[in-house]
Amino acid sequence: MPDLHLPLGFQYAGVHCGVKSDAKKPDLSLFVSDRPCAAVGVYTQNRVVGAPVIVDRARTPSDSVRAVVINSGNANACTGERGVEDAQRMTALVAIAVDAAREDVLVCSTGIIGHHLPMEQIENGIGLAKGVLSGSAESLELAARGMMTTDTFPKIASRSEDWDGTIVTVTGACKGAAMIAPNMATMLAVVMTDVAIDATQASMILKEAVDESFNSISVDGHTSTSDTVLLLANGASGRPAETPEEIESVRSMVTLVCQNLAEMIIRDAEGAEHFVRIEIAGLPDRNDARKIAKTIAEGALCKTAITGNDPNWGRFVSAAGYSEVEFDLNQLSLDINGVRVFESGSPVVYDEALVSSRMAEGEVNLHLDFGGETDPAGPVVFLTSDLTAEYVRLNSEYTT
């Protein structure tokens, strides 16, 4: 990523400190701003949460965050009071390193559940990371690698705009759900911008962006204990978002960055052979539409039909039927990769071999139209992967 424009005022580091056994793999990352940031978070809906989520929830929204520290290899979840103390200590160590208050440092952990963090290694790693902090794209990539568990590639996305001669930027790094591990597939993302926005604006922008991105993907429906998306805005570009157009522009950049990252997560879902895009049109309520899409995306019989390149529309239609959303079957039509297979509640004659061969190319598009008015913002788009024997093998290997 040589010509990646990064937001001003941020520095990154990713180092190996020994949480992971493989010394070639970074396992501790820092994201540091040279000035206070407006910072907000969106956290897992799971009632069982990792210690870092407890700490970050208490510290956001904030107008003074300076850094985020992330370790991979150990989720620090289901670790009781000592886990919370360890998470707090991580932030205290970073605070000393970057000369901040510890309340202005956020923390994320991802990896195995139910084990205490190796704090000696973590402490050492924070020292190492501080020594190599830089604003380069290479450092950002190392920081993105330091978040990875079973991801096969680092995930970074960026958008810039020219605001009357000032370049403003939104850049995000995330780790996804590669689903090899015997652990949860935690989703973590840090999104940074050098536009100045306050925490209230940031909160509204991030919530919307997450709904249209990370909340619109699913590999297997298992909500992790540690899912976290953070948005940090440090204003280092010198430009605040003041007009409605500017705020809309930031919202759009943040949403696009989150959507790019979310798509990378699905493309990196291990064991997957198909990238699946589910579009729901003709329903006025986006939440209803997303609920139907999620039910199809997570249905084992839907996923395995796609695995087998089988345009078995009965599975998709009946999954919509058990999604708990009201609709009129006689208004429902379904296209698979551009071919109408079900129309107004009845089967239609179509070329099954053609549709199957299009599915076999690896990208599957399910377009469901429920016959009503579509939300002005367009159809809901939900991304998922298929379910393969390889997924089962990867996730059932005995590794405890």
The residues annotated with a catalytic role in the active site are: 186
Decide whether 25 or 115 has the Cβ nearer to a copy of itself: 115
- List binders of a copy of itself among 61-100 (CB under 8 A): 77-80
**Is 79 flagged in the annotation as binding?**
no
- List binders of a copy of itself among 360-399 (CB under 8 A): 387-393, 395-399
> Using CA of residue 308, residue 310, residue 314, residue 316, what is the dihedral sign?
positive
CA angle 306, 312, 318 (to 5 degrees): 105
Could you tell me the CA-to-CA distances from 359 to 134, 348, 356, 362 in Å, in that order? 44, 18, 5, 6
**Is 200 flagged in the annotation as binding?**
no
> Using CA of residue 237, residue 241, residue 242, residue 245, what is the dihedral sign?
positive
CB-based contact 227:43 (threshold 8 Å): yes
Binding flag, residue 326, a copy of itself (CB under 8 A): yes
Structure tokens at 8: 């001003």
List 4, 18, 48, 132, residue binding a copy of itself (CB under 8 A)? 48
Decide whether 34 or 352 has the Cβ nearer to a copy of itself: 352
**Is 149 flagged in the annotation as binding?**
yes
Chain mean position to CA 183? 17
- How far is Cα 96 from Cα 118, in angstroms, rounded to an integer? 19
Q: Is the peptide bond before 61 cis (omega within 30 degrees of 0)?
A: yes
18 by Cβ neighbours in 10 Å (0-12 / 13-18 / 19+) ranks as: middle
Binding flag, residue 221, a copy of itself (CB under 8 A): yes
**Is 295 flagged in the annotation as binding?**
no
Q: How many residues does the chain have?
A: 400
Binding flag, residue 127, a copy of itself (CB under 8 A): no
CB of 89 to a copy of itself, least distance (A): 19
- How far is Cα 99 from Cα 279, in angstroms, rounded to an integer? 48
- Residue count at the site for a copy of itself (CB under 8 A)? 66
**Is 175 flagged in the annotation as binding?**
yes
CB of 107 to a copy of itself, least distance (A): 19
Strands 188-193 and 166-175: antiparallel
- How far is Cα 371 from Cα 334, in angstroms, rounded to an integer? 11
- List binders of a copy of itself among 337-356 (CB under 8 A): 342, 345-347, 352, 356
Rounded to whole angstroms, the maximal C-alpha distance in the chain is 69
Decide whether 199 or 325 has the Cβ nearer to a copy of itself: 325
Stretch that binds a copy of itself, among 129-137, 182-190, 232-240, 253-261 (CB under 8 A): 182-190
- How far is Cα 211 from Cα 249, in angstroms, rounded to an integer? 17
Stretch that binds a copy of itself, among 34-42, 150-158, 199-207, 318-326 (CB under 8 A): 318-326
Decide whether 97 or 319 has the Cβ nearer to a copy of itself: 319
Chain mean position to CA 24? 25
Binding flag, residue 57, a copy of itself (CB under 8 A): no
- List binders of a copy of itself among 296-315 (CB under 8 A): 299-301, 304-305, 307-315
**Is 270 flagged in the annotation as binding?**
yes
Name the residues that contact a copy of itself, by CB under 8 A.
45-49, 77-80, 112-115, 182-185, 220-225, 299-301, 304-305, 307-315, 317-322, 325-327, 329, 342, 345-347, 352, 356, 387-393, 395-400
**Can you say which residues are annotated as belonging to the binding site for substrate?**
149, 175, 186, 270, 395, 400
